[in-house]
Amino acid sequence: MATPLLRNKLASEGSYTPDGTSDARSTTSDYVDSIEDGDLSDYGHHHATPASRPSTTRSILRALGVTAWRRKSGYHDYEPAGGKYDDGPMRAPRRSPQRDIRRCRISYVMGWVKRGLLAAPFLILMFFGVLHILHAVLGRAQIFWDVDVGDDYLPHWAQSGRLADGLARYPTDATRDVLPIPCHSHNDYWRHVPLFDAISWGCTGVEADVWLFDEELYIGHNLASLTRNRTFQSLYVNPLVDLLDRMNPQTDFVNASGHGVFDTDPSQTLVLLVDFKTHGPEAFPVVSRQLEALRSKGYLTFWDGQKVNSRAVTVVATGHAPFNLVANASTSTHRDIFFDAPLDKLWEAPRSPISRDDPLLHDSDADLDYGDAMARPDPNPPASTTDLAVQSTFNTTNSYYASASFAKTLGFVWRGHLSPRQMDILRGHIRGAKHRGLKARYWDTPSWPVGLRNHVWHVLMKEGAEVLNVDDLQAAAVDQWKGRVHQWW
């Protein structure tokens, strides 16, 4: 008769005597007594506990190859006290040691492969993120050589008591090494040094907001910023006279009188844009009177009745400036204050009237808000319309700039670039200005994001706008804003 399973198990788990022999009978007797007494705790202790179901977190980590495999107590982990297995259900599992080693090696390698595949995208993003941070911090600086190394050569040259004593200076070196660029210093009076900051960066235009009180012109953006000592004469007229006197010295070799503020380009004029903030008819005579210091020395550009004679400074009136006072001098042989014409009134159709059915539109372009950009004049207006009269009024005899608000006439720049519809409007403005000999200028251009600002600057220069209205002089003068940069920062 076959021995019961319980008997086989208990017999295999027999205790050992001090001489090394198994005492299975004693062990079996103890288990039988426990079962008869109803105590199954010892019996359950010797049975293999079924493996518990792994948790969700452990399963995910195991799939990622990062789980530390833990050995669990189970059926195959049971080993008798004597280190030997009996035949039967509790016999030892038969496994090849080489197979187990190979399986462990494969599992180890696959775990690292999984880790590498999962970590690769993050490592790539981290690498390019570090490059982007370095690019932003260093600002395209030349970090592998000293860009100022030339200044260390003969540092004491031409100093008193040194080599070439007295040869370092020359009469017109106030703006030496400054190259003029077509940028206009918007709200120039906000600069650390009004007028001279713009000139040092090479800007060919500056803006001064004037307020008339008690027959004096004060400079400031609003009434709260006005002070008694910051006047039109103290900040602009007198400094320009002093600078131009230095740029036109009286020497034994020349009696100069026609040089502008830029030593590298003496023929380049500097535009002084005077923004009238108070009642124009009252302020205009005061502005003209205070310009006499420049006028008397021949520093102002003027119209002589036949042509425009360019000089060191060109004065342009804008804001509440009265065009009729400028135009009333049309019969005069001398006019040295010019007008800032309305650019949006000079639009000329490049091909055909702008329509919302224009095939050049991007998808959903017609649903975007373009401000007043759609309010264009009729391409075939009656001869008596006001728009036609306005278009024929402004020309080089009375105007110099033709300006308009970028945000109002072209609208918001969606998707980080000008749309074909906006390009048609812009080209029509520039075409109308050039047709009349005027320089197109847009104010209120985007200043942020930087990529959008640079895109607008690049397009304006490429399409023929002859001056950029800027707040960040350094960015306009030296940054690589024509290059491709991030769209939104």
Query: Residue written as tokens 């001869």?
Result: 383
What does the alpha-carbon distance between residue 273 and residue 276 come to, in Å, rounded to a whole number?
A: 10
What's the pLDDT score for residue 99?
78
Residue 285: the pLDDT is: 95
- Choose among 150, 126, 290, 152: nearest CA to 208: 290
Predicted local distance difference test score (pLDDT) of residue 101: 82
Pairwise CA distance, residues 36 & 478, whole Å: 98
Query: What's the chain's Rg over C-alpha atoms?
Result: 44
Which tokens sit at 165? Answer: 């004593």
Q: Determine contact, residues 176/154, Cβ cutoff 8 Å.
A: no
Report how far residue 237's alpha carbon sits from residue 297's, in angstroms, rounded to the nearest whole number: 12
Q: How many residues does the chain have?
A: 489
Reduce the secondary structure of the chain to three states and give it as a string: CCCCHHHHHHHHCCEECCCCCEEHHHHHHHHHHHHHCCCCHHHHHCCCCCCCCCCHHHHHHHHHCCCCCCCCCCHHHCCCCCCCCCCCCCCCCCCCHHHHHHHHHHHHHHHHHHHHHHHHHHHHHHHHHHHHHHHHHHCCCCCCCCCCHHHHCCCCCCCCCCCCCCCCCCCCHHHCCCCCEEEEECCHHHCCCCCHHHHHHCEEEEEEEEEEECCEEEECCCHHHCCCCCEHHHHHHHHHHHHHHHHCCECCCCECCCCCCCCCCCCCCEEEEEEECCCHHHHHHHHHHHCHHHHCCCCECEECCCCEECCCEEEEEEECCCHHHHHHHHHCCCECEEEEEEHHHHCCCCCCCCCCCCCCCCCCHHHCCCCCCCCCCCCCCCCCCHHHHHHCCCCCCCEEEEEEEHHHHHCCCHHHCCCHHHHHHHHHHHHHHHHCCCEEEEECCCCCCHHHHHHHHHHHHHHCCCCEEECCHHHHHCCCCCCCCCCCC
pLDDT of residue 203: 97
Residue type, 376: R
Give the contacts of 464 (CB within 8 A, at least 6 positions apart).
430, 434, 440
Extents of the domains making up the chain: 5-77, 96-147, 180-334, 336-489
CB contact set of 35 (below 8 Å; sequence gap of 6+): 43
pTM given for the model: 0.64
Q: What pLDDT, on a 0 to 100 scale, did the predictor assign at position 478? A: 83
In this prediction, residue 210 carries a pLDDT of: 98
Beta-strand relationship, 313-319 and 270-276: parallel
pLDDT at 337: 96
CATH for 180-334 is 3.20.20.190
- pLDDT value, residue 485: 47
Q: What is the pLDDT of residue 320?
A: 96
CB-CB contact of 51 with 72 (8 Å):
yes
CB contact at 8 A, 159 and 237:
no
116-168 tens-digit pLDDT: 888 899 999 999 888 888 877 765 555 444 445 445 656 666 666 665 556 66
Cβ distance 210 to 217 under 8 Å? yes
Q: What is the mean pLDDT of each run of 10 residues along the chain (489 residues)?
A: 45 47 49 49 48 67 59 48 52 66 84 88 90 73 49 62 65 88 96 96 97 97 95 98 92 77 95 97 96 96 93 97 80 85 90 47 42 41 46 87 96 89 94 95 92 92 94 86 50
> What single letter denotes the amino acid at residue 169?
R
Supply the pLDDT for residue 384. Answer: 40
CA-to-CA dists, residue 118 to 65, 130, 382, angstroms: 10, 20, 71
pLDDT of residue 50: 54
Nearest to 236 by CA among 196, 179, 182, 282: 196
Residues paired with residue 440 on neighbouring β-strands, in sequence order: 402
Question: What is the biggest distance separating any 2 CA atoms in the chain, rounded to whole angstroms?
Answer: 140
Cα separation, 198 vs 204, whole angstroms? 8
What spatial distance separates the first Cα and last Cα of the chain, rounded to whole Å? Answer: 90
The pLDDT of residue 42: 47
Amino acid at 108: Y
* pLDDT of the residue at 199: 97
Residue 364 burial class via C-beta count within 10 angstroms: exposed 0-12, middle 13-18, buried 19 and up = exposed
- Say which amino acid occupies 391: Q
Q: Could you give the C-alpha distances from 64 to 102, 119, 370, in angstroms and in order?
A: 21, 11, 52
Distance CA 420, CA 480 (A): 25
Dihedral Cα 246, 252, 258, 263, nearest 10 deg: -50
Residue 73 has what pLDDT?
Answer: 47
Give tens-digit pLDDT for 399-425: 999 999 999 999 999 888 899 999 999
- Predicted local distance difference test score (pLDDT) of residue 155: 65
Alpha carbons within 13 A on the beta-carbon side of 465: 27
